[in-house]
Structure 1
Amino acid sequence: MPSEDPTSQWSSITRDGTELAFVACGAGPVVVILHGLAGESGEFAPTMAALAQQYRVVALDQRGHGRSTRRPADVSRDSFVQDVVALIAHVSHDSPVHLVGQSMGAHTAMLVAAARPDLIDSLVLLESDAGSGTLDDAVGLGEFFASWPVHFTDDAEALAFLGDSPIAAAWVKSLERRNDGLWPRFDADIMESCIRHVMRPRWDEWVSVRARTLVVYADGGMFTEAHKQEFVSRRPGTLRADLANASHDAHLDQLEGWIRILTRFLNTA
C-alpha cells in the first residue's frame, strides 16, 4: 500500500464568498473525494495515494472544515452541493467524474449525483443513508466538539484527550499547528449546524440518482442491518459491499479492504 502523503500541495477556489481548499494528485479520470463531519482531506491521503497511479484524485475540504472557510454564512445542504459542482467545473471542466464520499460527505455526494447527473460517472458512498438522526444527536455532537480543549499543547495531550483510535489519530494529525499549540480546524457550533441539515431524509433524491452506485458499509458502523437494507433496496440496481472489523471510519481502520473494494468498482465503472 502506498504510504506517501499526497496532501502537501493545496489549491483553492472561491464560491459565494467561501474559500474552498482542495488537494489533487495523479493523472487520469477524475475521482473527487468528500470527507465526513469534522473531517478533512488528509484523512484520505492513503486512499489518494493508492488511486493516483490510475486516476486524477481530488479531495475537497468542505465548507466549515479543514483549510476551507471556517465560518461560512451558509451551511445548507444546497451550499455543499453547489461547492462540489463548482469544484468539478474547475478540475474537470464539467466532464463527468467519479464521486466518493464518507458519512456526511457521502450524503453530499448523493445529493450532487441527484442534482447534476451529467457530472457523475459513478458514485461510491461509504457509511451513508438518505439522512437520519434527531435534534438530540446534533446537540450531542456539538457538545462533544465544544468539549475539546482549545488549544492542545502537543500531540500527546490531544491523543490523551481524544483517545486511541484511527479517527482520533486523524483528528490530531489535522490540528492546525500554531506557535501557541494545536488548534481544531473547525468550530463546534458550525459542526452542529452542518449535521442538522443532514438529518432530514432525502429519499426522493436518492431514488433519482442515475449513476452506477456502490454503497459500502462497515460491520461496526453507524447503521443497523435493517437500516442498510432499506437504503440499498429503495434504489434498484444499487451495489453493496461490506467491510468486516471496521468502524464508521472504515477508510482509516480497514484501509486495505476499503481500497480493494473501491478500486475494483472504479476499474469496472
Structure 2
Amino acid sequence: MDEHAIALVHRHHRTPDGTTIAYSALGGRGPDVLLLHGLAGSGREMLESARALGGRRAIVVDQRGHGRSTRVPTDTSREAFVADVVGVLERESSGPSDLVGQSMGGHTAMLVAAARPDLVRRLVLLEVDEGSGSEADREAMAAYFRSWPVPFADETAARAALGDGALERAWVADLECRADGLHPRFDADVMAAVAAGVARPRWEEWGRVSAPTLVVYADGGMFTPATKDRFVAAGRDVTRVDLAGASHDAHLDATDAWLAVLRDFLDAP
C-alpha cells in the first residue's frame, strides 16, 4: 500500500464553548496516531510525519487559534486545548492512541496523557519541556508577527518578507488566500495568550504521565542542556534521543532523522 496515495478526510469538531476544531484523518491500520503542531503552525506541517508512519491511521489536528480552526477562540487556556484533543480522540479513536507533538503541541499532548491516560498508548514529545518562556519573549514574538506586511501579494512576496528557512516555508505554504491577498492563519495576540499558558510550569502533570514516552531534542533547539536533563529525569518512563544538525523545528529541517526515531519508537513492541 502506498501511504502517499491515501486521501485525507477533512472533519470538524464543535466544542462546548463554540470553537470549531478542524482536523484531517488519514486512513490506515491502528493503533491511531494523533499529531499536534507547534505555536503559530498548523496540522499541514505534520502531514509528512503522518504519511511516513507506514500506513498507520493518523489524525492531524489544527489546534484552536490555528490553521482552519477558529482563529480567535474565547478560551486560550491549556485546559481548553486538552479538552479539544480529548474530544477528537473520543470521536475518532476506538482505543488508546499514540500522541505526537512538537513544542506547544507536545505540551498539549503531555497534558492530555496526564489527564486521560486511558486514551494514550505512547507519547512522543519533540522539543518540549514542562513549561517555559518569559513575558518579554512572548511580547517579542507577538511584535514580530504583527510586523508582517500583511496581506502578502503572493507567495513570492511572502518569501521575500519572511525568509526561506524551513519554518518560514511552512508559514508561506499555510497562508490563507483572501480577496486582498495572503494572510497568516493565526492572530498575533492569540499566539501571545497561548504562549502565556504554555509558560506555566506543569511539573505535577508531567510526573503523572504513565505512557511510555519518547523525548526528542535538537542540538540547535531552544532548551539548555540543564533544562533537557531536568525534564527527562522527572519523567516516569522516558527514552531520550538528541538530533544533530536540527533546530527547534526538527520535523521540518531534520525530517529524515526525526522520522527515523519516531517510527522506531512507535513501532516498538
TM-score, normalized by the shorter chain, greater than 0.5: yes
Give the Cα–Cα distance (whole angstroms) in 1 for the partners of residues 7 and 222 of structure 2.
Answer: 28
Tell me, what secondary structure is at the counterpart of 2:52? helix
Q: Is the 8 A contact 1:9 1:23 kept in 2?
A: yes
State the AA in 1 paired with 2:60: A
Q: How does 1:90-239 map to 2 (within 5 A)?
A: 90-93=91-94, 95-239=95-239
For structure 2, the residue ranges without an aligned partner over 5 or more in a row are: none
Give the Cα–Cα distance (whole angstroms) in 1 for the partners of residues 165 and 32 of structure 2.
Answer: 31
1:5 positional shift? 8.5
Partner of 1:46: 48
Deviates more, 1:8-17 or 1:117-126: 8-17
Give the Cα–Cα distance (whole angstroms) in 1 for the partners of residues 158 and 246 of structure 2.
Answer: 23
Give the Cα–Cα distance (whole angstroms) in 2 for the partners of residues 172 and 4 of structure 1.
Answer: 22
Give the Cα–Cα distance (whole angstroms) in 1 for the partners of residues 13 and 133 of structure 2.
Answer: 32
Give the Cα–Cα distance (whole angstroms) in 2 for the partners of residues 230 and 185 of structure 1.
Answer: 34
Tell me, what secondary structure is at the counterpart of 2:150? coil
Give the Cα–Cα distance (whole angstroms) in 1 for the partners of residues 99 and 7 of structure 2.
Answer: 18
1:103 positional shift? 0.2
1:7 positional shift? 7.8
Give the Cα–Cα distance (whole angstroms) in 2 for the partners of residues 256 and 115 of structure 1.
Answer: 32
State the AA in 1 paired with 2:202: R
Count the aligned residue pairs.
Answer: 266
Tell me, what secondary structure is at the counterpart of 2:100? strand
Tell me the alpha carbon deviations over residues 45-76 of structure 1, each in whole angstroms, 9 at most, x when there is no partner. Answer: 2111111x431010100000000000100000
Give the Cα–Cα distance (whole angstroms) in 2 for the partners of residues 89 and 33 of structure 1.
Answer: 15
Give the Cα–Cα distance (whole angstroms) in 1 for the partners of residues 5 and 139 of structure 2.
Answer: 34
Q: CA RMSD in A?
A: 1.5
- After superposing on structure 2, the runs of 4+ consecutive aligned residues of structure 1 that deviate more than 6 Å are none
State the AA in 2 paired with 1:86: G
Q: Is the 8 A contact 2:36 2:106 kept in 1?
A: yes
Give the Cα–Cα distance (whole angstroms) in 1 for the partners of residues 149 and 8 of structure 2.
Answer: 27
1:237 positional shift? 2.8
Q: Is the 8 A contact 1:38 1:65 kept in 2?
A: yes
Q: Give yes or no for the alignment of 1:21 onto 2:22.
A: yes
Q: Is the 8 A contact 1:131 1:200 kept in 2?
A: yes
Q: Percent identity over the alignment?
A: 52
**TM-score scaled by length of structure 1:** 0.95
Give the Cα–Cα distance (whole angstroms) in 2 for the partners of residues 259 and 155 of structure 1.
Answer: 28
State the AA in 1 paired with 2:231: F
